[in-house]
Amino acid sequence: MVAGNVTTYLHTSYIKKWDICAPNAVILSVGGTMTTLKGKQVDYGSLSPKTEKEGILVAWQSDYDELFDKLHSAF
């Protein structure tokens, strides 16, 4: 995504939050968005679970809303 080779990333299974915290920072810095598949921001707080169980969606901010809507209309 950052290099311009990918516009969307979808991860549908459990993922450890330490595997996505640095990529999330980079994605945000270049105009992208990373949320859970339910549309919530990933919570990295010390009291939150260490695994993201809802999956994640990553996209350019300009494409995110349309992709999120298409994803949810498919389910």
Amino acid 47: pLDDT: 92
In a domain, 39, yes or no: yes
For residue 49, tell me if it sits in a domain: yes
- The parent domain of residue 21 ranges over 8-74
Residue of 31, 50, 54, 30 whose CA lies nearest to 41: 54
d(C-alpha 9, C-alpha 45), whole Å: 23
Separation of alpha carbons 12 and 36, rounded Å: 9
Whether residue 3 lies inside any domain: the answer is no
The distance from CA 23 to its chain's CA centroid, rounded to whole angstroms, is: 10
Low-confidence ranges of the chain (pLDDT < 70): 1-4, 75
Contact at 8 Å (CB) between 2 and 52? no
What number of H helices and E strands is found in the chain?
A: 2, 5
Domains of the chain: total: 1
CATH number at residue 19: 3.40.190.80
